[in-house]
Chains A and B, each alone.
Chain A
Amino acid sequence: MEYFVHTAIILNIYAILIVSAQLVIGHAKLISLGQGAIFGAGAYFMALSMIRLQIPFVPAIMIAIAGNALIGLLIAWPSARLKGDYFVLTTLGFQFIIFQLTYNLSSVTGGSDGLGGIPSPRWPGLSDESQPYFILSLSVFITALVFMLYYRLLRSDFGRNIRAMSDNELLYKASGRSVIKIKSQLISFSAATTALGSGLYAVYMNYLDPHAFNLDKSILILTGVMLGSLTRLRGALAGALIITLLPEVLRFAGLPAAQGASLRQIIFGAVLVGLMFFISWRRKKQNQTNNNE
């Protein structure tokens, strides 16, 4: 049962990360290799404000959201002004910069030893045994909130503007709107909702390790978005389900932990390549049927 609760909490966290990444990668068509770092930045904001400033859960998560929104603006500042590959390069760069900050500023972040002793929020009068269930309910609640937010967002003017911009940037600009502005907004918004996942992760794990937010995590989130769906909310949930359960399946298949980690990454890599072949094959087929009609 404990195992089930653990997997369910992780699933919720991934669902938040993936639905947030979907806005950037899927809707705005900006491939990001820095989602792991954004996730990490939020978790460190959360942990540091709870440990160093002794702030309770709710205001701390507000700080994490605000902090991440700023990080998002910081990433958007150069990259929204530049085209195509420079966005990937900038996010990849931020991935390493945030890792270096969390790893090297050891007096603040604990460095390679990690940051421990993050307090969990507690419901008054609840026993220790039911604490995991409380965190699970909290994470389900927050995840539902995030999904509802995105459901509303994508049907609002803002969502339509994002799709219009990603469909044809030049046309969007020609209709008198600012591409830089909307890119900054959406990157910042996505980072802010990622912080909710980070906050949950921080208070659930009670411990942060810089290595948990490395490039692998970014690629994992990218895989989740690609596997699920680029645009559908349901797809984000499906993507989260696959990337949460695949490692568990591999573990049950009896792989030793040491090789398991590498093998999992190899499988995710192969899945990404296979998926790209599938997508382009399907498009080609669609084009052919369209031409025949």
Chain B
Amino acid sequence: MQELLIQILINGLVSGSAIALVALGFSLVYHTTRIFHITFAALYASGGYLFWYLSVGQQFDLASSLFIATLFPALLSLFLWLIIYKPLTNSGAEHNELMVASVGIMMIIIYLISLIMGDDPKLPSSALGKTLPARYLQLIVNIIVITVFLLITSTTRFGLRLRAFRDNPRLLGRLGINNFYLTGILFLLSGGIAGLSAGLSTNDLGISPFTGVHVFINAFIAVVAGGSGRISGAVAGGLFLGILQSAVVFLAGSEWILSLSFAVLIILMLVKPDGLTGLARREA
């Protein structure tokens, strides 16, 4: 019984830290721009597939595959912001229109991937995880990246600007701080986190075209559960959701994960609308 509990807890920590990391990446863009950035799902998929192609297809070593799989979605994210979101926002697009455009980009990228790589799930090669089991590698990297991020946002000037930008982008612009570069950096970081997380998870479990959408939903649930407006909230929400999901897997089976996380989300939103860490929501 005790062993089972420990097993649930460890699995929960691994998947929880993974969800926390993507939630962090998603919240960087979501909390500052308020775009329903579902393209994030496609960025994640692109990172995962690139990692799989490099490590399994081209026999690259783990570190360089991970590096390229992180770099590419980061640049893609920045590029998409420059050619899609920014011009749309500049010409006064409404919230819903940005959302629909984001759905469109997601479709294009995901189906480009499935056109090139095929629909079948790609499994990780067993040779890769030899030095360190893939799960523990994932857990360690996740924890390091999350900790570094939380430190940066809570202690540095950049983090201060980030929080100010989240609270009131217009005021920050009036104070003479360049929103353009700040938003660019956020999109770059967010895409990079999506890619890194996708690479790590592909190394452990493999990837299929719609994995990104599931991950996106988890990330969004974590952000909402953790409390909107706070980056640490996303992390708390992710860990909470991961442990909950791993308990659900033991009790009911993996096919019901998403349904039950949603049930929890809905209950949580109705009972505690400001999330676990509770911070008043800024209106979109």
Contacts and interface: CB of A to CB of B under 8 A. Distances in A.
Q: Do chains A and B stick together as partners?
A: yes
Interface of A: 29, 31, 33, 78, 81-86, 88-90, 92-94, 96-97, 100-101, 103-104, 215, 219, 222, 226, 259, 262-263, 265-266, 268-273, 275-277, 279-281, 283-284, 287
Given A93-B262, A97-B262, A284-B91, A276 B97 contact: yes
Given A97-B258, A259-B115, A263-B115, A269 B104 contact: yes
A85 B36 contact: yes
B175 interface: no
Given A100-B258, A265-B107, A269-B106, 5 more contacts: A262-B112, A262-B114, A269-B104, A279-B97, A287-B92
Interface of B (DSSP majority class): helix
B284 interface: yes
B4 interface: no
A266 B107 contact: yes
B259 A265 contact: no
B91 A81 contact: no
A276 B256 contact: no
A146 B99 CA distance: 29
Contact of A283 (B36, B91, B220, B265): B91
A84 B255 contact: no
A283 B92 CA distance: 8
B107 A272 contact: yes
A93 B99 contact: no
30 contacts: A31-B99, A31-B100, A82-B269, A85-B99, A86-B224, A89-B221, A89-B224, A93-B266, A94-B262, A100-B256, A100-B258, A219-B103, A219-B107, A222-B100, A226-B100, A265-B110, A266-B111, A266-B115, A268-B107, A269-B103, A272-B100, A272-B103, A272-B107, A276-B88, A276-B98, A276-B100, A276-B101, A277-B87, A277-B91, A287-B92
Contact of A281 (B91, B96, B221): B91
B108 A266 contact: yes
Nearest to B263: A97
Contacts, number: 122
Given A89-B220, A269-B111, A277 B259 contact: no
Contacts of B93: 276, 279-280
B104 A271 contact: yes
Contacts of A271: 104
Interface size range on B against A = 35 or more
B6 interface: no
B95 interface: yes
Contacts of A103: 255
Given A104-B256, A222-B103, A280 B91 contact: yes
A273 to B, nearest CB: 4
Nearest to A269: B107
B255 A100 contact: yes
B248 interface: no
Contacts of B152: none
B259 A273 contact: no
Contacts of A272: 100-101, 103-104, 107
Contacts of B284: 83-85
A280 B88 contact: yes
B108 A270 contact: yes
Contacts of A287: 92
A31 B96 contact: yes
Nearest to A226: B100
A34 B108 CA distance: 19
Complex A-B, nearest 5 residue pairs according to Cβ-Cβ distance, in ascending order: A269-B107, A272-B104, A269-B108, A273-B104, A280-B93
A64 to B, nearest CB: 22
Contacts of A280: 88, 91-94, 97
A276 B259 contact: no
